[in-house]
Structure formats: C-alpha cells, structure tokens
C-alpha cells in the first residue's frame, strides 16, 4: 500500500514542473525541516517551488538553512502540485485553500495517527517518528544528492519530533537516518542546541512561571499548568516562548498525563497533552476537535480558560481512572504556588 503510493509520488515529482509546498499552522521543526528539505531536493531536480506558511517561521527554526524561502502567501497564480506535509487536519493547513484547490494534484505526506487522507495521493505512516523521516526516505528515491542543507533540514525534523532522540518514538529506523544525515553534513550539537537548549529570556521566565504553577491530581499521575493572558501580556510573550514547556510538565516524576493550558489572544485556549505513551492522549485531543500522536497531542477550545481546564482535566481523570494507578508510589498533590 505505502510502497505503491510512494512510487506514485516519486513519479509525480519527476514529471511535474511547479510545486507549492506547505505544512501546518504554528509550524515546528518537523514541519519546517520537512518542507525545506523537499524544496531543496526539488530545486536540485530543476523544479520551480514555492513554500508557504501563513504563520511564517518560528524564532526556534530561524537557524534552519533556506528558511528565508518560506513565504506568508503564495506569489504564483497556480502550481502543478500542492504538497501538504506534517499536517493532520484540514483546518490546520497553513496555505490559502484556493491556492491548493488551483493545483492539478494534491499530495499529503504525514505521520499523524489522526491524519485525514483526503488528497489525491496520501502517504500516511504513523510508524514514522517524524514527517522528516518520510521525506528522507522519499529523497533517497529521487535523483538528488543529500547535501549539508538537506541533511540539516532533515536532522532538525527528526530531532524535533523525537525530542532529541529521547522520546518513545526513537527507533533504529530514525537513528539510521540521523547517522547518514550527520555523515552528509548535519551538525547534531548545533541543531539540538538551537532546538532544546537555547532559550530567550522571555521563554525562560515563562517556563519558570509555568513550573511554579504546577498542579497535580490522581495521586500525581495527572500534572498540569495554566498560563493565562495576563502572564503572556506581562512578559509580551507569544506561542514561540512556550515551546517544550509541556514536556517539563510531563517529566514530573510519577506523571502519566501532562497538560499545559494556554489562553490565546483569539478567544481560544490551546491545550497541549503529553503522556508517557501508556495512554493515548490523541484520543482525548480528538474529542475536543484536535489530534496528534499517542504521546503528544493538542487541541484548541473556543471557551474560557476555566471551562477548558475543567473539561479537559475531567476527561484525563476518567482515562486515568479507567485502569487504576500503574505504580505503587503514592504521590502527594502539589499545592498551587502562585
Ligand atoms: P503541541 O502540543 O506541541 O502543540 O502539539 C503536539 C502534537 O499535537 C503535534 O503533533 C500537533 O500536530 C498536534 N496538535 C496540536 N494542536 C492540535 C490541534 O489543534 N489539532 C490537531 N489536529 N492536532 C494538533
Ligand atoms: Mn511531525
């Protein structure tokens, strides 16, 4: 099934001339690295490409080579092929719908469990740790040399979605791909420094605030934190500044489900869910109109912060109550510190 679709995609990339590449809104390193690696490969093949993301490039990814080619809006009237990478939902595509509708053919390449295969060609492989892993496998079949730019883009994608090759999706397959990318010029130290260690002063402060507000329930198996509008406004912080904060919430010892609630400036509450992979948090996210992966998922609720917290935690408690505590440790709930 996937072999046939991959071959069809290889054929289309060889035959067609012009391409519009896009990914999801609020793009991460997998999204940015995947589109830029495929762009570089298509450019090597002599194709015309435009990369669009209506949200632009996050500060976190500003080190990725060729990110200056990502446009907020398309400039070409139409392209032969629209490529949608790492995007699990129709409402998350970061390109104007009319630009994709104008393409002769649309292709989705994705690794989300909750992906909706509604394009002309759909390559969806939830066993891949990152969309970048699929793009690596695709590029290996193209008449393209993996140069340092492609290697850096793809390594950024793999490192992002595996949390620097530490999460439960770190497989021999992704490590083999990463090894070849290092041979081809990706610098693991530099890339993972930018992705996971370097933080702006604002991001460091907001991490501190989020951690100081940790709350727990279900004997410590459920841990969450809440960032309200006033906190963002006081620091003049935005979404870029809370990247990875939810992982610190999940990493509190004994936690099986970690949740970060963030009050947006658009009347919506963004919810990030993480699990220790025993629980499938994408199911919880889907119930609220979101999606993602077993161990990392998210959703946005158009409601008040208090209501979003109450509803999502209610479902998380039910999920955890369904099969009882998994460890004999008795965790005391933390008190709210601020
Ligand atoms: P994050 O918590 O880092 O924003 O997202 C974690 C995962 O959940 C990512 O794979 C992301 O694609 C997915 N995700 C986050 N928010 C949403 C959402 O609103 N809808 C869908 N379908 N997926 C989401
Ligand atoms: Mn991804």
pLDDT of the residue at 270: 97
Residue 317 CA to residue 229 CA, distance in Å, equals: 25
The pair of three-digit structure tokens given for residue 167, joined into one six-digit string: 């999460």
Compute, in angstroms, the gap from residue 163 CA to the centroid of ligand 1. Answer: 15
Residue 291 CA to residue 89 CA, distance in Å, equals: 8
Residue nearest to atom 14 of ligand 1 (CA): 298
Identify the band that residue 322 occupies on the pLDDT scale cut at 50, 70 and 90. confident
Is 92 touching ligand 1 by the criterion CB < 6 Å? yes
pLDDT of 151 above 60 = yes
Residue nearest to atom 11 of ligand 1 (CA): 292
Ligand 1 pocket check: which of 297, 301, 308, 312 to mutate, most ligand atoms within 8 Å of Cβ?
Answer: 297
Cβ atoms of 209 and 242 within 8 Å: the answer is no
> What Rg value do the Cα atoms of the chain yield, rounded?
20
Compute, in angstroms, the gap from residue 111 CA to the centroid of ligand 2. Answer: 7
Cβ atoms of 138 and 10 within 8 Å: the answer is yes
For 335, counting Cβ atoms within 10 Å of its Cβ (0-12 exposed, 13-18 middle, 19+ buried), the class is: exposed
Residue nearest to atom 3 of ligand 1 (CA): 272
Query: Which among 205, 19, 42 is positioned nearest to 95, based on CA atoms?
Result: 19
Identify the band that residue 113 occupies on the pLDDT scale cut at 50, 70 and 90. confident
**Cα→Cα distances 177→63, 129, 130, Å:** 21, 11, 11
The pair of three-digit structure tokens given for residue 8, joined into one six-digit string: 């069809």
- Residue-level length of the chain: 338
Is 300 touching ligand 1 by the criterion CB < 6 Å? yes
pLDDT of the residue at 332: 35
The pair of three-digit structure tokens given for residue 79, joined into one six-digit string: 């392209």
pLDDT of 117 above 60 = yes
Residue 191 CA to residue 186 CA, distance in Å, equals: 8
pLDDT of the residue at 88: 87
Report every protein residue that has its C-beta within 5 angstroms of ion ligand 2.
30, 86, 131, 161
Is 272 touching ligand 1 by the criterion CB < 6 Å? yes
Tell me whether the CATH fold assigned to 3-197 matches the one assigned to 201-321: no
pLDDT of 192 above 60 = yes
Residue 42 CA to residue 297 CA, distance in Å, equals: 31
Query: Which among 98, 58, 112, 105 is positioned nearest to 83, based on CA atoms?
Result: 105
Compute, in angstroms, the gap from residue 294 CA to the centroid of ligand 2. Answer: 12
Residue 203 CA to residue 49 CA, distance in Å, equals: 34
DSSP 334: P
pLDDT of 20 above 80 = yes
Is 258 touching ligand 1 by the criterion CB < 6 Å? no
pLDDT of the residue at 59: 93
Is 85 touching ligand 1 by the criterion CB < 6 Å? no
Residue 94 three-state SS: coil
Compute, in angstroms, the gap from residue 72 CA to the centroid of ligand 2. Answer: 20
Average pLDDT taken over every residue of the chain: 94
Residue nearest to atom 19 of ligand 1 (CA): 299
Chain-centre distance for alpha carbon 132: 11
Is 254 touching ligand 1 by the criterion CB < 6 Å? no
Cβ atoms of 111 and 129 within 8 Å: the answer is yes
Compute, in angstroms, the gap from residue 144 CA to the centroid of ligand 1. Answer: 31
Provide CATH code, domain 201-321: 3.10.310.30
Residue 74 three-state SS: coil
Residue 258 CA to residue 334 CA, distance in Å, equals: 14
- Domain boundaries defined on the chain: 3-197, 201-321
265 — phi, psi (to 5°)?
-100, 10
Provide CATH code, domain 3-197: 3.90.1640.10
Query: Which among 274, 257, 322, 289 is positioned nearest to 88, based on CA atoms?
Result: 289
The half-sphere exposure of 295 on its side-chain side, counting CA atoms within 13 A, is 19
Please tell me the chain's helix, strand, coil percentages from 3-state DSSP, rounded to the nearest 5.
45, 20, 40
Residue nearest to atom 20 of ligand 1 (CA): 290
Is 264 touching ligand 1 by the criterion CB < 6 Å? no
pLDDT of the residue at 326: 53
pLDDT of 330 above 50 = no
Residue 159 CA to residue 72 CA, distance in Å, equals: 25
């Amino acid at each position: 099934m996937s072999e046939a679709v991959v071959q069809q995609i290889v054929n289309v990339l060889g035959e067609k001339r012009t391409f519009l590449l896009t990914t999801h809104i609020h793009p991460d390193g997998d999204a940015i690295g995947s589109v830029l690696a495929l762009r570089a490969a298509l450019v090597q093949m002599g194709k015309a490409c435009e990369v669009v993301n209506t949200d632009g490039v996050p500060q976190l990814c500003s080190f990725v080579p060729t990110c200056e080619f990502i446009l907020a809006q398309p400039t070409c009237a139409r392209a032969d092929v629209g490529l949608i990478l790492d995007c699990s939902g129709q409402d998350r595509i970061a390109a104007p719908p009319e630009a994709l509708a104008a393409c002769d053919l649309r292709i989705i390449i994705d690794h989300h469990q909750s992906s909706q295969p509604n394009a002309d060609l759909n390559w969806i492989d939830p066993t891949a740790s990152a969309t970048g892993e699929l793009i690596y496998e695709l590029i290996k079949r193209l008449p393209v040399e993996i140069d340092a730019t492609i290697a850096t883009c793809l390594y950024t994608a793999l490192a992002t979605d595996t949390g620097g090759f530490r999460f439960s999706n770190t497989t021999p397959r992704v490590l083999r791909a990463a090894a070849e990318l290092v041979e081809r010029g990706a610098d693991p130290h530099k890339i993972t420094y930018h992705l996971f260690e370097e933080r702006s002063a604002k991001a460091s402060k907001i991490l501190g605030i989020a951690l100081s507000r940790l709350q727990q329930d279900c004997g410590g198996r459920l841990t969450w934190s809440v960032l309200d509008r006033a906190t963002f406004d006081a620091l003049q912080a935005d979404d870029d500044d809370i990247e990875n904060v939810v992982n610190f919430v999940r990493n509190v010892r004994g936690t099986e489900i970690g949740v970060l609630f963030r009050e947006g400036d658009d009347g919506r509450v963004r919810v990030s869910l993480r699990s220790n992979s025993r629980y499938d948090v994408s199911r919880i996210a889907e119930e609220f109109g979101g999606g993602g992966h077993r161990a990392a998922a998210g959703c946005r609720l158009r409601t008040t912060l208090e209501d979003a917290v109450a509803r999502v935690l209610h479902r998380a408690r039910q999920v955890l109550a369904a099969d009882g505590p998994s460890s004999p440790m008795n965790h005391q709930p933390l008190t709210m510190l601020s």
